[in-house]
Amino acid sequence: MHFVQGDDAPLSFAHLVPESALARLGIPRGRTRDDRAVQRAIIGQALVRHDGGGGRISYSRSGEWWKLDRYEGTPFGRSRVLGTVDALTDRGLLGSFRAKPGAHLAEEERDRLQSAFWATESLVEALRGEAVEHRRPRVPVLLRDENGDPMPLPRAQEVDRIVRKMERRNEAISGIGLSVDPAAVAKGLWRFSDHHWWALSDKGEWTCVLHQEFPHMVQMFARRSFDLHGRMYGPWSNLPAARRAELLLNGEAVCAKEPDWRCLHLDLAYAMCGARLDGDAYEVRGATGVRRGQLKMAVNAYMNAADRTATIRSLMLKRRETGKDGRPAWPRRMTWDQTAEVLSRIEERHEPIRAMFGSDAGVRLMRIDAEMAGQVMDACAKASIPCLPVHDSFSVPGRHEGFVKGVMGEVLERTRNKLSGTSTTTYPVVRLHYAPPGAGGPGAEPLGNASVEPRDRGAVEVPGPSGEAPSEPPVSTRTLAPAPSQDGPQASVAVSYPEPRTSTRILAHAVLAVPWPLQDVSSDPRTSTSEPTPEPTSRAGRTAPSTVSTSSDPRDPSPAIPDRLCPTLRLDMTTCHPAVVAIPAPHPHVIYDVDGTPVRGMPVMLRPMAQDLIAAGHDPYTPPVAPSPKVAPGLPSGIVPRAPWPYTAGIR
C-alpha cells in the first residue's frame, strides 16, 4: 500500500462516540475517565473520516514531538494515544501504518509522511447507526509552525485579544441556520451522509465537508507568527463556488455571485507602495500566447512565491493540470525561458510594486485581508445580517447585497489610507433602497429596480450678489426613504453606493468653497456669504500643491463639499505668500509651528496642518535655529558663565 501526503487529517479531539460504544465493541475500557475519553475520540474520528471518504488520520510516535503540549486542554498523551491505537489495531478494528523515523523530513514534500490509522469495515459495521458527538475546538485560533503542525498558543495579551475577537464573531454567526436549497438537492447536485455534506463540483468531482447545523469558524496563523496568514475558515469554505450559491442562510437564498474585492492583494500592495492600481491588473502587454485567466494565476503565484525561480517551477508544473474550463492551467508549449519572459512583462506592467513580486508577500497580505473580512463581519453582525466569510468574499442573503458591498468599499478605503499613510480619498454617498419582502430570492425582482430616490437633496443656500436666486450646488446627502406601511412582515432596507464624493475629515455641515474674505469668517459653516465664487476645492489659492495621490474616479468631486473644513481665521490671504517647501516623503512624525514649537503626531494628522503653515509662508519641516548663548557683560566674547547645578556649596 502506497501513501502520499495530502490524503490524511491530523489527530483531533473533535469527534467522540458514547461510552456505550466501547461495550458494543467488546474492548477493555480504560481505567480512568481520560483513558476512556481517548478511546472514544480515536474511534469517533476514525468513523467520521470513513464517512467522509475513508481518509487516514495521522499522528506521531516520536517522543520529541509529544514533548510540546500540542493538545493542550485534552487528555491526549503519547502513552494513551499509542496504546489505544495499537490495541484497536490488534483487534482488527483499525488499520495502521507506522512511518520510519525521520520520514516526515524527506526531501520531497509528497514523501513526507507520519504514522497513521483508519477505520476498518469491522469497526464500521459494529457501530453502524451509532451517534457521534461533535465538539468544537476549545480555542477558535490555531497557530502552526513551519511544517504546518499545530503548536500551543503563547500566553500574551495580544493572543487573548485575538481569541476573544474570534469568540465574539463565532457567537454572532452561531445563530445562523445553514441549509441547502431543495431544488438543488432534487437535481442530484448534493448528497448527505451521517456526518458530511457532499457537493458536486463543475469538474464532476464530489467535495466532502463536515456537516454543521450552526456555523463555527477557526482562525489559522502560520510560521509561528500572528502577523502571517490569519484567515478564518469554516466547512463552507471548501465548497465549490457554484454550490455555495445554493446555500440558504436562515432560509434565505444567498447572492448568486458572492460580493468580493477585485484584485485585492494587488490593490493592497499598491497602497503599501503609495500608489493606486488602475486599469485591468491582468492585461499584460507582450505576454503573447497566454490567456487572461492564466495571467491572473501567474500574477498571484508570483506575489505569493518566495522567489522568481519558485514561481517559474510552479507554473511549469501547472502545464500538467487542467483548469475549470477544461483547458491547461498553463500553456503546455511554454518553456522555462518563455515563462521567465512572461514574469518580466508582469513586472513591467506593475512597476510600482516590482519589489513585492517573489518576496513571499502573500502570507502578509492574507493577514491584512483577514482583518478586513473581520471588519465586514462585525458590521453585518451589528446590522443583524447573516454573513459567512469565504477568504476575501462573503456569502450573504441576496437582499442585503447592496449593504455588504457598501461596507466592503468603506473598509477597503480605510485600509488603503492606513497602508499608504494618506487621508484624502473618495467615499461613496449612501443611498438607501427599499427591498420588498423576498427580494434577492430566486425569480425576484432585482434590488436595483426597486430603488427609491431621495425626495430632496440637501443644499447650502447662498444669496446671489445682486438679489439673484440662491444657488443650489448638487450636494448628495444620506437620505432614508421611509418604508411604506403594510400588514405583512417588516421589510428590510438595503444600502448601495452608486456615487462617489470627496470625503471630509470631520463630520460637519457642507459649506461652499469660496475665496477667503477679508473680514472674519464665522465659525458656523451654514452662514451665508456674499458674492460666492465656487472653486474646484476649498484649498485653491491658499495652500501648496498636495502630493497626495488622488482617486482614480474620473468624475470631479462636488465643489460644494470642501476637502477639509478650516477653523475660523483672522487672516488676510491677499497679503499672504505661500512658502516654497519640498514636502518630504514619507511625511515625518513631527513639524514645527511658527514659534518653533514641535508638533508630533501621525503623518495623516500632521499633513493638513503643515499645508496650512506652508500657505502662511512658514516652513514646518525645518527645525528652529537654536538661539545664541547670552554673554555676561564684561566677559570676553565666547565665554559663557555656568552656575553649578544643583547648588551644593555649604550643604553637608
Give the model confidence (pLDDT) of 198-209 as tens digits.
999 888 889 999
Residue 436 CA to residue 254 CA, distance in Å, equals: 16
Residue 648 has pLDDT above 80, yes or no: no
Give the model confidence (pLDDT) of 432-455 as tens digits.
333 344 444 444 444 444 333 444
Percent of the chain with pLDDT over 70: 69
Pick the residue with more confidence: 39 or 566?
39
pLDDT at position 394, please? 97
pLDDT at position 623, please? 86
Average pLDDT over residues 320-349: 90
Q: Best-predicted range by mean pLDDT among 1-10, 273-282, 423-432, 473-482? A: 273-282
pLDDT at position 151, please? 86
Task: Collapse the DSSP code of 401 into the 3-class scheme (helix H, G, I; strand E, B; otherwise coil) and give the result.
Answer: helix
Average pLDDT over residues 518-535: 44
Residue 118 phi, psi dihedral angles, 5° rounding: -155, 160
The per-residue pLDDT of the chain, averaged, comes to: 77
DSSP one-letter string for 569-599: ----GGG---------SSPPSEEE-TTS-EE
Reported as a pLDDT band with limits 50, 70 and 90, residue 313 is: very high
Reported as a pLDDT band with limits 50, 70 and 90, residue 577 is: low
Percent of the chain with pLDDT over 90: 49
Give the model confidence (pLDDT) of 618-627 as tens digits.
888 888 876 6
Residue 493 has pLDDT above 70, yes or no: no
Residue 496 has pLDDT above 60, yes or no: no
Residue 533 has pLDDT above 80, yes or no: no
Q: So where are the chain's domains? A: 8-135
pLDDT at position 438, please? 44
Give the model confidence (pLDDT) of 340-378 as tens digits.
999 999 999 999 999 999 999 999 999 999 999 999 999
pLDDT at position 229, please? 94
- CATH 1.10.10 assigned to 8-135: yes
pLDDT at position 38, please? 96
Lowest-confidence segment of 28-37, 386-395, 445-454, 578-587 by average pLDDT: 445-454
pLDDT at position 434, please? 32
Give the model confidence (pLDDT) of 469-482 as tens digits.
444 444 444 434 44
**What counts of helices (H) and strands (E) characterise the chain?**
15, 22
Average pLDDT over residues 337-342: 95
Residue 352 DSSP code: G
Residue 104 CA to residue 357 CA, distance in Å, equals: 30
- Nine-digit cell at 279? 486599469
Q: Using omega within 30 degrees of 0 as the cis cutoff, is the peptide bond preceding 586 cis?
A: yes
Cβ contacts of 331 within 8 Å, gap of 6 or more: 289, 290, 294, 319
Residue 276 CA to residue 420 CA, distance in Å, equals: 10
pLDDT at position 186, please? 95
Pick the residue with more confidence: 99 or 504?
99
Reported as a pLDDT band with limits 50, 70 and 90, residue 526 is: very low
Q: How many CB atoms lie within 10 A of CB 191?
A: 13
Average pLDDT over residues 545-558: 43
Q: Using omega within 30 degrees of 0 as the cis cutoff, is the peptide bond preceding 10 cis?
A: no
Average pLDDT over residues 324-329: 82
